[in-house]
Structure 1
Amino acid sequence: MLHRLAAERATGAFTRAGGTLFLREGRVVHAESPAATGLDVLLTRGCALSRKCWETALTQAARDGRVAQHLEASGRVPVGVLELCRRTALYDAAFFVLAPGGGPGRFRRKVRDQLGAPGGVTATAVEGETVRRLAFLDRIWPDARIDVLPPAPTAAGGRLHMVPNRQLRILELADGTRTATDIARALGRPAFHTLVELRRLAAGGLVAPAQHACPGHPGPDAAAGDGAPVAGSGPTVAGSGPAAPAPPGQEFVDPDVALLRRLRDALEAL
């Protein structure tokens, strides 16, 4: 459906369970997802833009839907920084919109986003990046439950001196109640980047999905019900979800070659 809309040079909102892609003349110009970190968080937490400036831009653009132009005109956000954060937010949200299990899509014609930024990217580019990200996550650690269930520290937490700073801040917030989305927003980071570090921490045996926890935010598989994994692909996340991979260090009667290869790839990715 998305490719057909792109071919028709359609303008409107393409929505699935994971969020919405906004199209203008067939190109994706903006994306929103409750599981992703929005542009407002990226700008106000990671840049010099204040929350007040962001809200002022929203108020001024309430009628014309040109938030990006108002931000540029204010001089508070350099054009390059705004474009970088805009593209980051777009791909971050699109990952959850297009990931497997998002259910059927629907399209509302002539609906426009508030951002009103020029340009956009092709539907093919957005889809290709989503596929690449799904494969990358599975190469790190092929258990997608950590993406939706609140991560909790394991007994291996004594190895914190070996954890890089970018992961340490995530680990400090992984208390078994916050989801990956909560952690990403608290740190002002893209949700996908947080998923990458959480998968690395899981591969290192430092975090695991909290038992009997319920996701606080819907992911791309929210429509599937019963807490289905959201970010994996292929046989590891098909059907009712994957079996829990054996933690590093478990003894086997016979060597599990596939697991050893995954652990090797995870260690090389650190």
Structure 2
Amino acid sequence: MLRRLAAERATGALIRDRGTLYLAEGQVVHAESPATPGIDVLLTTGGALHRDGWWDAVARAGAGQRVGRHLVDSGRVPAGALELCHLGALYDAAFFALAPTRTPARFRHGVSHWIGPVRPVPVDAVQRETFRRRELLERIWPDAMTDSAPLVRTDRSVDAPVPPGRRRVLDLVDGARTASDIAQELGRPAFHVLVGLRRLAAAGLVEAVREPAAGSGRIPLPDVAADPDVALLRRLRDALEAL
């Protein structure tokens, strides 16, 4: 569908389960996903822009869909810094938006994003980079559970120093946060966090928290052994579990 839209030089929003790609004349001009930090987070966390400056730009230029242009013209962000952050956010969100899914995609013609034009990217380039990233993750560690499940540290001791970037990721692994949560906390592209977590998993330092299989727990019963009704229920339970 994405290739067809590129061939048709379509303009609009391709909406999928895990994100949206915005096209203008068949090229990808922006992407966003709930799994990734947005361009606002990348700009403000990286120090290129103060958060108040971001919201001022949205208020002044959002309705005209020229937030990116306003940031540059007002001198708040250098054009090069905006392009780098925009491309980082675009490729990051596109990786999740283009993940395999059983739900059909929808395309809304004529829809554009309020960030406005920054730097269009050909569809082929977005797809190539998405495939490259999937293959890289698979080479590092083949279990994709680390990409979406809550993560927990293992009891394995660290045999070698953990690089600083990976250490910051490891420090946020607490049994509740997911890769996306950690990316938001650090203000880093989510794919970079996925790479760090898969390397940590390959080293045996983290693992995904897996939910128990349905029906694996025993039926709880009152601990009253002398009660004949409870005793009967226990025998029935044991007989069912033996089937």
Instruction: Tell me the TM-score range normalised by the shorter chain.
Output: 0.7 to 0.9
Q: Distance in 1 between matches of 2:102 and 2:122?
A: 20
Question: What count of residue pairs does the alignment treat as equivalent?
Answer: 212
Preserved contact between residue 152 and residue 173 of structure 2 (Cα < 8 Å)? yes
Q: Alignment RMSD, CA only?
A: 1.3
8 Å CA contact retained: 1:160, 1:168 = no
CA distance in structure 1 between the aligned counterparts of 2:173 and 2:119, rounded to whole angstroms: 37
Q: Deviations over 1:14-36 (max 9, x none)?
A: 01101100000000000010001
State which drifts further: 74-83 or 138-147. 74-83
Q: Could you tell me which residue of structure 1 aligns to residue 22 of structure 2?
A: 22
**What is the identity, as a one-letter code, of the residue corresponding to 1:190?**
P
Structure 2: tracts of 5 or more residues without a match: 213-243
- Quick check: 2:83–2:119 contact (8 Å CA) kept in 1? no
Residue of structure 1 in register with 2:218 after alignment: none
Partner SS state of residue 116, structure 2 = coil
The answer as to 2:122 corresponding to 1:125 is: no
Q: Would the aligned equivalents of 1:16 and 1:102 in 2 still touch at CA under 8 Å?
A: no
Bigger RCO of structures 1 and 2 (CA < 8 A, at least 6 apart): 1
- Aligned-residue sequence identity (percent) comes to 56
1:69 to 2:65 alignment = no
Deviation digits for residues 189-246 of structure 1 (CA, Å, limit 9, x no counterpart): 1000000000000000000002339xxxxxxxxxxxxxxxxxxxxxxxxxxxxxxxxx
Structure 1 residue 48 displacement after superposition: 3.2
Alpha-carbon contact 2:2-2:123 (below 8 Å) kept: yes
Which protein has the larger Cα radius of gyration, Structure 1 or Structure 2?
Answer: 2
Could you tell me which runs of 5 or more consecutive residues in structure 1 were left unpaired when the two chains were aligned: 214-270
Residue equivalent to 1:251: none
Task: Evaluate the alpha carbon distance shift between residue 111 and residue 58 of structure 1 in structure 2; reply closer, same or farther with a 3 A threshold.
Answer: same
Partner residue, 1:167: 166
Q: Residues 195, 102 of structure 1: CA spacing in aligned structure 2 closer, same or farther, 3 A cutoff?
A: farther
Structure 1 residues 86-139: Cα deviation after superposition (integer angstroms, max 9, x where no partner): 000000000001112263211000100011124401111111110110000000
Q: CA deviation at 1:84?
A: 0.3
Scaled by the length of structure 1, what TM-score is found? 0.76
Which has the larger displacement, 132-141 or 60-69? 60-69
Give the corresponding residue for 1:186. 185
**1:16 touches 1:104 (CA, 8 Å); kept in 2?**
yes
Q: 2:143 is matched with which residue?
A: 143
Cα pair 1:38 1:89 within 8 Å, conserved: yes
**Structure 1 position 37, deviation (Å):** 1.6
Whole-angstrom distance in 2 between the partners of 1:192 and 1:101: 18
Aligned-partner SS, 2:84: helix
Q: Secondary structure, in 3 states, of the residue corresponding to 1:199?
A: helix
Question: Secondary structure of the residue that 1:13 maps to in structure 2?
Answer: strand
